[in-house]
Amino acid sequence: MAITPGDYIKAQAMAMTIGNMIGSTPAVVNVDGQYLEIQFTDAQKRAFIEYLDRAVRPLWSNEPRPAPTVQVRWGDVLVPWSVKYLAPAILAVFAAGYLTNAVFDPRGQ
């Protein structure tokens, strides 16, 4: 599969995002024309590990945290999406099981 210009844009965007986190942008390398790879120097690896440690550590502590300054209203998106896709899928699986007696058959057949 060929690498497209969109692939380069996505890879550069990811590298720049990581660069904003750790202070220097990792390299985007074309590997044999098959795929793009984001490569880190040793200093970047250490900086990224330290960044992840700082970002994840508060999740495991019992200390109260201040409210985030940026909040996403996921419910506005996920509730309609789940009603559109997940609820019918659950009902379809239940109906298929009911019709084949797999749900209510006491012998489990």
Q: List the alpha helices (DSSP H) in 23-41.
A: none
Report pLDDT for 103. Answer: 58
pLDDT in the model for residue 57 = 83
Q: How confident is the model at residue 102 (pLDDT cuts 50, 70, 90)?
A: low
User: In angstroms, rounded to a whole number, what is the distance separating the alpha carbons of residues 99 and 93?
Assistant: 10
pLDDT tens digits, residue range 22-39?
999 999 999 998 999 999
DSSP 3-state percent helix, strand, coil across the chain (nearest 5)? 55, 10, 35
Structure tokens belonging to residue 101: 């007696």
Work out the angle at residue 44's Cα, subtended by the Cα atoms of residues 39 and 45, and round it to the nearest 5 degrees. Answer: 80
User: Domain boundaries in the chain?
Assistant: 5-60, 71-109
39/14 Cα distance (integer angstroms): 11
Which DSSP state fits 105? -
Among candidate residues 37, 16, 20, the one with its CA nearest the CA of residue 28: 37
